[in-house]
Amino acid sequence: MLLLAIDTSTTAITVALHDGDRVVAEETTLDARAHAEHLAPGIERSLSAAGARPDDVTDIVVGIGPGPFTGLRVGIVTGRTFGFALGLPVRGLCSLDALGHAAWLGGHRGELLVATDARRKEVYAARYVLDDAAAARVAGPVVDKAVSLPDEWRAMPTVGRGPLLYPEALRGPHGTDGADGANRSGQLLDVSAGALADLAVRRLAAGTEFDGLEPLYLRRPDVSPAAPTKSTLG
C-alpha cells in the first residue's frame, strides 16, 4: 500500500504518503490564498522524499472540508484528477475528523471541540468524544460565530485555529484560555495530511465507510454570478 492524502481545507496545503504502517513523507505549506500553486509541488516533494513514483500510489484520500470554497475545491479536484489518471480509488473524509484524530494520536481522551477558521468571523466546528479506540464525531460540522456555539461546546478543550482567533469564546486544547493553549498545540492548528492518511488507513483496515467526495462547503461561495439585468434596447 502507498496511500496519498491531500487536504486544502485550512491554511495548510498538506500532503502525505502512508505505506500502511506509518507516514513515510509529509509536506505542508501554510498559505491561505495560494492552494493551487503549492499543492502539486507538495505532492512531487512527498513522492521524492518517499522514493516513490506516481504509479506506486495505490489509494487516495482527500479532505472534503468544511472549508472555504476555492481552497477546498483545489484539493478535491487534484485528488480526483490524480486518481482518474492512474485508475485509482479516491475517497473522502471530513477534514475536521483529521484534527480530531491528530488529538487522539497525541493522547487526548474525553470530549473535544474542533474549530477551524471559516473567515467572516466564523468557525467550522464539530464535537468529538475520544476514547481508547478512536475519535468519534458526535455532532457537526456546523458553521457559526464562535461565541454563538452551544455553551457546552465552548466549554470543551478545543483544537484548530478557533481558540487562537477567538480566545474570548473558546478554550485551548489543554483547558487553558484560548490563545495560550492554541499556540502550544502546534500542529493542531491546521489539518495534517499525515493524520488524515493514518485515519484513512485505519478505516480501510476496519472496513469502515468513508464520507464520499461531495465537498462540505456549508455555505454559499464568496463569489456568485451577477444577477441578470434587463436590456435597455428595444
Q: Which domains does the chain have, with CATH numbers?
A: 3-95+193-206 (3.30.420.40), 96-189 (3.30.420.40)
Residue-level pLDDT at 132:
97
Task: Name the CA dihedral angle for 102, 106, 109, 111, rounded to a multiple of 10 degrees.
Answer: -40
Q: Between 59 and 232, whose confidence is greater? A: 59
Q: Give residue-wise pLDDT tens across range 57-109.
A: 999 999 999 998 889 999 999 999 999 999 999 999 999 999 999 999 999 99
Question: Are 131 and 206 a contacting pair, CB within 8 Å?
Answer: no
Cα(118)–Cα(67) distance, rounded to whole angstroms?
A: 7
Over range 42-57, report the average pLDDT: 97
Over range 16-38, report the average pLDDT: 93
3-state secondary structure the chain: CCEEEEECCCCEEEEEEECCCCEEEEEEEECCCCHHHHHHHHHHHHHHHCCCCHHHCCEEEEECCCCCHHHHHHHHHHHHHHHHHHCCCEEEECHHHHHHHHHHHCCCCEEEEEEEEEECCEEEEEEEEECCCCEEEEEEEEEECHHHCCHHHHCCCEECCHHHHCCCCCECCCCCEHHHHHHHHHHHHCCCHHHHHHHHHHHHHHCCCCCCCCCCCCCCCCCCCCCCCCCCCC
What are the beta bridge partners of residue 119?
A: 122
pTM above 0.85, yes or no: yes
Cα(125)–Cα(159) distance, rounded to whole angstroms?
A: 10
Cα(35)–Cα(48) distance, rounded to whole angstroms?
A: 20
Over range 191-207, report the average pLDDT: 97
Over range 173-186, report the average pLDDT: 49
Question: What is the torsional sign of CA 38, 104, 90, 70?
Answer: negative
Residue 32's contacts (CB-CB under 8 Å, 6 or more residues apart) are: 11, 71
